[in-house]
């Protein structure tokens, strides 16, 4: 069951990725920039290196969740937005972090509700060691990511 409200939705933005792996830092960098520039009332922004189970309780307290991350499977700099649904089989290959869809499955199982959820991502070029240093392709993708997030924030939640 998806929990949403037509107006005044509580929105959670989670930028995640490794700050020392080049373009993988784009999620936290976009989240940090959104927070610096200001977001409307009812919008919370957090940055994480990884997604952990502790986020489940935060997710169910919001009507809409927007994850921000880097992608490796597309043209460099391409920005994508897709809606996510719970998927318990979307388990990470590494035991210390989780896939957003797995977190949603936990929301559904533990709380019987799932926020409307989106993933906004940008395809990176380099994931070598670089402390918060993006390639030009990823740097150019930041503004379109921010614009897409602002559109999702403004979009009325479905009834």
HEC readout, 83-141: EECCCCCCCCCCCCCCCHHHHHHHHHHHHCCEEEEEEEEEECCCCCCECCCCCHHHHHH
Q: What is the mean pLDDT of residues 15-41?
A: 96
pLDDT for res 120: 98
Residue 13 reports pLDDT greater than 60:
yes
Model confidence at 97, in pLDDT bands (50, 70, 90)? low
pLDDT for res 59: 98
In percent, how much of the chain has pLDDT > 70? 89
Distance CA 76, CA 117 (A): 24
Q: What is the tens place of the pLDDT at every residue in 66-88?
A: 999 999 999 999 999 999 999 87
pLDDT for res 50: 92
pLDDT for res 158: 62
Residue 63 reports pLDDT greater than 70:
yes
Question: What pTM does this model have?
Answer: 0.91
Residue 41 reports pLDDT greater than 60:
yes
């Amino acid at each position: 069951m998806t929990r949403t409200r037509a107006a005044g939705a509580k929105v959670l933005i989670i930028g995640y990725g490794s700050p020392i792996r080049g373009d993988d830092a784009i999620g936290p960098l976009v989240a940090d920039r959104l927070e610096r520039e200001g977001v409307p009332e009812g919008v919370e922004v957090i940055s994480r290196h990884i997604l952990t189970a502790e986020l489940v309780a935060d997710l169910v307290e919001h009507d809409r969740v927007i994850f921000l991350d880097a992608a490796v499977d597309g043209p460099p700099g391409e920005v994508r937005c897709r809606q996510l649904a719970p998927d318990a089989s979307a388990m990470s290959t590494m035991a210390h972090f989780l896939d957003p869809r797995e977190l949603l499955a936990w929301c559904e199982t533990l709380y019987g509700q799932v926020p409307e959820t989106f993933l906004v991502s940008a395809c990176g070029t380099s994931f070598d060691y670089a402390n918060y240093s993006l390639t030009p392709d990823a740097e150019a993708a930041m503004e379109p990511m921010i614009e897409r997030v602002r559109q999702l924030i403004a979009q009325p939640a479905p009834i």
